[in-house]
A and B are shown apart, each in its own frame.
Chain A
Amino acid sequence: MTAGDSGFLFTFFNPAVAKQYAPDIAAGMLVTVGVGLAVVVTGTLLGLALAVARALGRRALAWPIVAFADIMRSLPPLVVLIVLYFGLPSLGLPLSAFAVTWLSLTLVLAAYAEESIWAGIRAVPDGQLEAARSTGMRWWQAMRWVVLPQALSRAVPPLTNRIISITKNTALGSVVALNEILNNAQGASSHAGNPTPLMMAAFAYLVVFLPLVVFSRWLEQHWQRR
């Protein structure tokens, strides 16, 4: 082993540093998973609600939804985050870093989810809704049992990819000092004067998101049967 090799290991994979800061990274993982789960649940549900509301076909309802989705998809998530973090307090609504990260990414995910699910709804032939209504089902029953199952199964591939790419943006929370993985790793590495915690952060992200990527692949293949 050359001196250069051991210098590399000492710098990037330093066991003593790793051991010292492992609890910080682990705590960061919990926060990342917590925000991520919250964003997935609320973002997808909000997107679903918006898509269904848009499907009602009332222009007064559809127009603001389209505007919301287009604006949120145009803005970089980091900008949404910063604007909300520094803007909400002046509206008398100071939120924690956790809450602002959650809210920002929820809005961004909802915009993309609304577009994916709306595209799925549009792809279901009109005859499906007509057939369901012709048997006496109410609009929302036909939506729930006939249109949405088909729309969602079409929306799954674009939606899972989007969910993953947006939940990864929890790392942006480090900008507003949310104590998630990246923020903790940056703090630890400047405290230790050694980048090993950043390598640990990369590994932690893999632990959190790689299963999600694998799961989304499985979901795409197993939910697209009909």
Chain B
Amino acid sequence: MPILDISGLRKSYGATEVLRGVDLQVRAGELVCVIGPSGSGKSTMLCCCNLLETPTGGTIFANGHEVTSPLVNINRLRQEVGMVFQQFNLYPHLSALDNVALALRQVQRRSRDEAASLARAALEQVGLGGKAGSYPSELSGGQQQRVGIARAVALKPQVILFDEPTSALDPELVEDVLNVMRDLRTRGMTMLVVTHEMAFAHAAADRVVFMDGGVVVEQGTPAEVFENPREARTRSFLARYGSRLS
């Protein structure tokens, strides 16, 4: 059974239909990268998976729970489906440790000490054990995003959604974040990643999904999608991004 099972997903804003029936499965331990042009609905699709956006049609199952059911417990669902944001969205008034510990305390109702030690472990995992007391403004973009990943990881989700996690970073900081994601994959974390990092998708993904115009146009192994794309739209998209492949 897939951890994430999206079928026929639709989302409209007024008369504009952004998602026109997306079908996508992510199995346990898989790293799936979603690529595609801006405005293709990638981020909207991601936000539907933890109900930051409300789908207008179709179904999503996360870890066997129906996300799209009106009876879903949103706050329990969101602990199983973590999210990492393009703009990091760290809480600027809290230290790195408290950024990670906040939901452990307020949502999972853990004690101060327990939350702090779990948060510390999550920061260690992303290589920021020494920055627990630092505030976001004192961290580089790459470090901030790693704290963002630690915040998601600490809740022990079944799957983490990454919304263009490196798009807001200076090029020299991108690799730090990607390395943390590679490390998560080797630890067996299930990840759905919207990205423009073609080289990362090519090298690290188990599966690559190409979206355009609100639908999945084609998907397959990185070798299939990047080296032997079946669809013309995929080919023309990759031709434009080809220089980033090397």
Chain A positions near chain B (C-beta within 8 angstroms) = 125, 127-128, 130-138, 141, 145-146, 149-150, 153, 226
B79 and A136 contact, CB distance less than 8 A? yes
A135 and B107 contact, CB distance less than 8 A? yes
Interface residues of A: mostly helix, strand, loop or mixed? helix
A134 and B83 contact, CB distance less than 8 A? yes
A131 and B93 contact, CB distance less than 8 A? no
Given contacts A136-B103, A136-B107, contact A146 B91 (CB under 8 A): yes
A135 and B103 contact, CB distance less than 8 A? yes
Contact partners of A137 in chain B: CB under 8 A: 75, 102-103, 106-107
Query: How far is B94's CA from A153's CA once the two chains are assembled, in angstroms?
Result: 13
Query: How far is B20's CA from A189's CA once the two chains are assembled, in angstroms?
Result: 81
Which of B87, B89, B90, B107 is the one whose CB lies under 8 Å from A141?
B107
**Residue total for B at the interface (Cβ-Cβ under 8 A):** 26
Contact partners of A130 in chain B: CB under 8 A: 52, 85, 89
Query: Closest approach, in angstroms, between the C-beta of B194 and any C-beta of chain A?
Result: 15
Other A-B contacts than A134-B50, A136-B107, A136-B108, 14 sampled, CB-CB below 8 A, are A125-B87, A128-B91, A130-B89, A132-B103, A134-B83, A134-B85, A135-B155, A136-B103, A141-B107, A145-B106, A150-B92, A150-B93, A226-B93, A226-B137
Query: Closest approach, in angstroms, between the C-beta of B62 and any C-beta of chain A?
Result: 13
Is B151 engaged at the interface, CB distance under 8 Å to the other chain? yes
CB within 8 Å: A-B pair count? 67
Contact partners of B200 in chain A: CB under 8 A: none
Of all chain B residues, which has the CB nearest A150? B93
B137 and A127 contact, CB distance less than 8 A? no
Contact partners of B75 in chain A: CB under 8 A: 136-138
Of all chain B residues, which has the CB nearest A153? B93
Which of B89, B135, B137 is the one whose CB lies under 8 Å from A131?
B89
Contact partners of B82 in chain A: CB under 8 A: 134-135
Contact partners of A146 in chain B: CB under 8 A: 91, 102
Contact partners of A133 in chain B: CB under 8 A: 52, 78
